[in-house]
């Protein structure tokens, strides 16, 4: 290593100044020495956390902007500034644009996921037999690792696999497709697997929020003669709006960072390449770190925009799940 990345400095300083942190043994902690020591205390506690924050979150953001205007290949000592050429590439090469398009399948998937989660959270928040069993089953897929899920569904969706067998035995042969092989269907299949994986988490978040609604409100509504449907629209949905908003943001950023399922199942081939698969390939196999960084900057800008829009423009009634 030739130059210390920014942010490492303070961390090293923390290690080399152990004496400062030694507490005084003076009872009561009074005295001149402890006065400046007291002032320093919060900084000492924050040295490592802020150091790591700067090193691992902010430095990459800054360097990423810098790489994105160079033609760096990730290896050379020198980087030539080439202006906005990389950005032009991002927006003119259809292969680059396609990854953003592919994430739309997952965005749609995340809406489906939220709708399902909301439905099951609502019915399970009322009296249901075996509630814990249903809850456990619905949630469990979220605990399985992505590679395993990819393999489980490769096995399930392959020609002649579980799904095809089900369709065959229920007289639905006509619905059999190449679930990952047909380019018109592959992205739907992968997005569906993603829904299978994440619905449980959204569901548990919604359920927790619904259950924390005070029972007084229901009782008041019951007096007014509200039925379940009214309860849902006038009590449940408004009460959990913040969580729905959060699930929305998580859904968008999750859709843009899909990696494991398409990577394991199709390796990004057949038009299923996602942002992460493509940038990793660009950066490390094509050695176009500059271009990959420009992609990342565009993505970051996009995520920030969506977050901002969500917080600004979709505040109240607009949280519509259909």
Partner 1 sequence: MKAVAGTAKYLTLVVASIVTLLPLGLILFGSFKTNQEFLSTNPFQPPADWFNVDNYVLAFTRGGMALAFVNTALIFVAAIAGTILIGAATAYALDRFRFRGRSVVLALFLLATLVPGVTTQVATFQIINGLGLYGSRWALILLFMGTDIVSIYIFVQFMRSIPRSLDEAAMIEGAGHLRIFFQIILPNLKPAIATVVIIKGIGIYNEFFLPYLYLNDPDKLPISTALFAFKGPYGSQWEAICACVVITIVPILVLFLFLQRYIYNGFTQGATK
Partner 2 sequence: MFPHHRRPRSLALAAAGTVLALTAACSSGGGSDDSSANADGTPSGKISVLTWRTDLVEDGTFDTYVAEFKKKYPEVTDVKVEGVKDYEGTVKTRMNTDDYGDVLAIPGSVTPDQLPDFFEPLGDQAEMEKEYRWLNDKSFEGKSYGIPVVGNVQGILYNKRVWEEAGITEFPTTPQEFLDDLQTIKDKGVAKVAPLYTNYKDSWALSQWDGWRGAVTADPDALNKMTQTDTPWTADSDYGVIDGTIYDAVARKLTEADPTTTDWEGSKRMIGVGEIATMALGSWAIPQMMAAGEAAGADPADIAYMPVPVQVDGKFHTVAGGDYNLGINVHSKNKATARAWIDWFNHDSGYSESQVGLSPLVDGPVPAALEDFMSSVELLTMNAAPAGKESLFADIDTASGIVTTDPKYRLQIIDDARSGSRTKEQIFDDLNGKWAEGRADVDS
Q: Measured between alpha carbons, how far is 5 from 9 in angstroms, rounded to an integer?
A: 8
Which residue matches tokens 């990577």? 263
The region of 40-48, 82-90, 95-103, 265-273 touching partner 1 under the rule CB under 8 A is 40-48
Min separation Cβ 272 and partner 2, Å? 8
Per partner kind, with CB cut-offs from 5 to 8 A, the member of partner 1, partner 2, none near residue 63 is partner 1
Min separation Cβ 45 and partner 1, Å? 4
Nearer to partner 1, 218 or 259 (CB): 259
Provide the token pair at 138: 């619905």
User: 171 near 230, Cβ under 8 Å?
Assistant: no
Provide the token pair at 190: 């992968």
Min separation Cβ 209 and partner 2, Å? 36
With binding defined as CB under 8 A, does residue 245 bind partner 1? no
Of positions 100, 106, 153, 248, contacts partner 1 by CB under 8 A: 153
Choose among 195, 204, 244, 242: nearest CA to 124: 204
Q: Measured between alpha carbons, how far is 155 from 266 in angstroms, rounded to an integer?
A: 13
User: 97 near 276, Cβ under 8 Å?
Assistant: no
Of positions 13, 46, 97, 172, contacts partner 1 by CB under 8 A: 46
Provide the token pair at 47: 């040295």
Coil, strand, or helix at residue 182? Answer: coil
Of positions 16, 132, 170, 322, contacts partner 1 by CB under 8 A: 132
State the distance between the two ends of the chain, measured CA to CA, in whole angstroms.
53
Upper half-sphere CA count for residue 139 (Cβ side, 13 Å): 15
Q: Sort residue 257 into left (φ over 0), alpha (ψ -120 to 50) or beta.
A: alpha
With binding defined as CB under 8 A, does residue 148 bind partner 1? yes
Nearer to partner 2, 21 or 172 (CB): 21
| Residue ranges binding partner 2 (CB under 8 A) | 1, 4, 8, 11-12, 14-15, 18, 21-22, 47-48, 51, 74-75, 154, 158-159, 178, 180-181, 183, 186, 265-267, 269-271, 280-281, 283-287
Min separation Cβ 38 and partner 2, Å? 17
Of positions 43, 91, 101, 233, contacts partner 1 by CB under 8 A: 43
Choose among 134, 282, 280, 125: nearest CA to 215: 125
Nearer to partner 2, 66 or 119 (CB): 66
| Residues between 275 and 294 with contacts to partner 1, criterion CB under 8 A | 275-276, 279-280, 283-284, 289, 292-293
Which residue matches tokens 């990959």? 292
| Residues between 185 and 244 with contacts to partner 1, criterion CB under 8 A | 196, 201, 204-205, 207-209, 228, 242-243
Q: Measured between alpha carbons, how far is 164 from 173 in angstroms, rounded to an integer?
A: 8
The region of 34-42, 93-101, 217-225, 231-239 touching partner 1 under the rule CB under 8 A is 34-42
């Amino acid at each position: 290593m030739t130059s210390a990345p920014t942010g490492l400095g303070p961390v090293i300083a923390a290690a080399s100044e152990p004496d400062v942190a030694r507490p005084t043994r003076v009872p009561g902690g009074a005295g001149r020495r402890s006065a400046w020591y007291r002032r320093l205390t919060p900084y000492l506690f924050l040295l490592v956390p802020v150091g790591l924050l700067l090193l691992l979150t902010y430095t990459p953001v800054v360097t990423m902007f810098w790489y994105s205007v160079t033609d760096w290949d990730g290896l050379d000592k020198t980087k030539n500034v080439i202006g906005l050429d990389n950005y032009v590439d991002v927006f003119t090469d259809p292969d680059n644009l396609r990854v953003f398009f592919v994430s739309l399948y997952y965005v749609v998937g995340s809406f489906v996921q939220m709708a399902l989660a909301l439905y099951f959270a609502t019915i399970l928040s009322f009296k249901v037999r075996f509630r814990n069993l249903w809850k456990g089953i619905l949630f469990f897929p979220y605990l399985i690792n992505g590679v395993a899920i990819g393999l489980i569904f490769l096995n399930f969706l392959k020609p002649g696999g579980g799904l095809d067998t089900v369709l065959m035995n229920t007289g639905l042969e006509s619905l059999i497709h190449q679930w990952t092989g047909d380019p018109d269907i592959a992205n739907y299949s992968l997005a569906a697997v993603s829904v299978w994986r994440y619905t449980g988490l959204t569901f548990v978040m919604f359920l927790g929020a619904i259950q924390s609604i005070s029972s007084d409100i229901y009782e008041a509504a019951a007096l007014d003669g509200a039925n379940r449907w009214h309860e849902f629209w006038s009590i449940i949905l408004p009460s959990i709006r913040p969580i729905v908003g959060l699930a929305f943001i998580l859904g968008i950023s999750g859709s843009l960072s899909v990696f494991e399922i398409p990577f394991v199942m199709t390796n990004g081939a057949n038009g299923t390449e996602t942002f992460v698969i493509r940038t990793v390939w660009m950066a490390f196999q094509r050695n176009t770190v500059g271009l990959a960084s420009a992609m990342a900057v565009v993505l970051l800008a996009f995520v920030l925009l969506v977050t901002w829009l969500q917080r600004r423009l979709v505040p109240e009634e607009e949280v519509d799940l259909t």
